[in-house]
Structure formats: C-alpha cells, structure tokens
Amino acid sequence: MTTSRLKSLVESLIFVSDTPVSLDRLCGILEEYGREDIRSAVAALMDEYAQPERGIALAEVAKGYQFRTREENGEYVRRLIKIKASRFSQSALETLAIIAYRQPITRAEIEYLRGVDSGGVVKTLLEKKLIKILGKKDIPGRPLIYGTTKEFLEIFSLRDLKSLPTLREIEELSAERMNEQQEELPLEDPPVGASHGNGAVERDGD
C-alpha cells in the first residue's frame, strides 16, 4: 500500500476511462485506500504531468479527472484523427452562455434576454448534448426548463459551473472593452456587431 502503488493505480484508472473520473468514483474502486491518500495521489500525478515537456496533461473537468493532450500539440493531433473541429456560431454561444448562467431557464426567458426567437438554437444545442431538458417549470403552461450538461463542462474544459467567471467579473470586462473600443475606433470605421469580440481587443484588456 505504498504511495507509488496507489499513484500507479490512479494513473491506470483515469487513463483507461473515456470520461472524466470523479474522486468519488476513484474512492469507490480503490476501496482499500483512504480518501485523503487518493486525493494526494491525484495531486501528485497532476504535478508530474504538469511539466511542460509532457504531451499529456491531467486536467480537472466536469467534476472529475481526465488525461488530455497538450494544447500546443493540437495541430498534429488533428492531423492524426482528422476530425472536423466543431465550432459554435455566435447565437449558439450566446444561448449557451445564458443557459449556463441562468439555469434552470425556460425558452421564453432565453428569448427575452436575447431579444430573438431561440427555438432553433435550443434544439441544436439539445442535439449536440450541450444542454438538456431538466423538466417543466411550475407556472401556467408548464414550459420546459433547460440546463447545461456534463458534456458542456467537458467540451469547454470547465471543472464545474462555479469555475465560470462570475457575471460581475464579466460586467467589468465588458465595461473595459467598451471603453477601449470607443477610444480605439473612429466613427467612420465602426466595428461590425461582433467584431469587438476580436482577439486583439481581448489581449489588450489583460
């Protein structure tokens, strides 16, 4: 029951799973070991894999642990697996953000916040499993309510919903961005709707 044995077991278990493995699940399997020992074995592994020359990192996502390839290697990995990168349209991202922050939320509420019909986007997000139906709201008409899924956390590499920036932080960022834009951009050359989303602006803000 040495530490290195436990670390080896944890490494095997996380490696072999095709979804993030939670600490609870590890404890359930490694019943001979104590929770705290398991937790520190995970932490030690994370440290080891954090070295910059490694091609794999141990990430904490969706309330579990998962090995993932290092970001800088993405281009080569794409050459190997030849998948089409999934991308999100502005409307999908907006809707997803609203659902992430305001869940459980009805379609009518989403549409009030966005100011546009959102049925199509909601359906697509359901199909992509980024959101799910949580049930029905206890108000007249009993509308469906939506929330984000575990897949949402996995795809956006989020540990949990709490690790999203708070709305207050976002407000500050947004105010900053707005000021910058007004300074940077002369009237003649207006940013088209979305262009304040430009990476350059964002970096300047940091």
Partner 1 sequence: MVRHQVENHDNSEQYNTLYNVKLDKFEGPLDLLLYLIRKNELDIYDISISIITGQYLEYLKLMKELNLEVAGEFLVMASTLIQIKSNMLLPTREEDHSGEEEEEDPRAELVRRLLEYSRYKEAALLLSERKLLGRELFARSFPAPELQTVEKSDEPLEVELFELIEAFRAILAKAPRESFHEVSAESISIAERINEILSLLQEKELILFDELFENSLDRDYIVATFLAVLELCKLKMIRVRQQTQYGVLRIMPAVVEPVEEPRSEGGGDDVAT
By CB under 8 A, what part of segment 109-148 binds partner 1?
112-117, 126-130, 132-138, 142, 144-145, 147
86 binds partner 1 (CB under 8 A): yes
Return the residues of window 135-194 that contact a copy of itself according to CB under 8 A: 135-136, 142, 144, 157-159, 162-163, 165, 169-170, 172-177, 180-181, 184-187, 189-194
State the binding partner of 97 from a copy of itself, partner 1, none, CB within 5 to 8 A by kind.
Answer: partner 1
35 binds a copy of itself (CB under 8 A): no
69 binds a copy of itself (CB under 8 A): yes
1 binds a copy of itself (CB under 8 A): no
Question: 23 vs 201, which CB is nearer to a copy of itself?
Answer: 201
State the binding partner of 40 from partner 1, a copy of itself, none, CB within 5 to 8 A by kind.
Answer: none
71 binds partner 1 (CB under 8 A): yes
Give the CA distances from residue 11 to residues 33, 41, 154, in Å, rounded to whole numbers and listed in that order.
15, 9, 19
Q: How many CB atoms lie within 10 A of CB 112?
A: 11
In degrees and rounded to multiples of 5, residue 22 shows phi and psi of: -80, 160
Looking at residue 88, what DSSP letter applies? -
120 binds a copy of itself (CB under 8 A): yes
Return the residues of window 88-107 that contact partner 1 according to CB under 8 A: 88, 90-91, 93-94, 96-98, 100-104
State the binding partner of 154 from a copy of itself, partner 1, none, CB within 5 to 8 A by kind.
Answer: partner 1
Per-residue b/e over 13-46, b at no fewer than 16 CB within 10 Å?
ebeeeeebbebebbeeebeebeeebbeebbebbe
Q: Which residues contact 181 (CB under 8 A, 6 or more apart)?
A: 191, 196, 201
Identify whether 20 is preceded by a cis peptide bond (ω within 30 of 0). no
Residue type at position 98: I
CA-closest candidate to residue 143, choices 182, 104, 180, 179: 104
User: Least distance in Å: CB of 57 to a copy of itself?
Assistant: 10
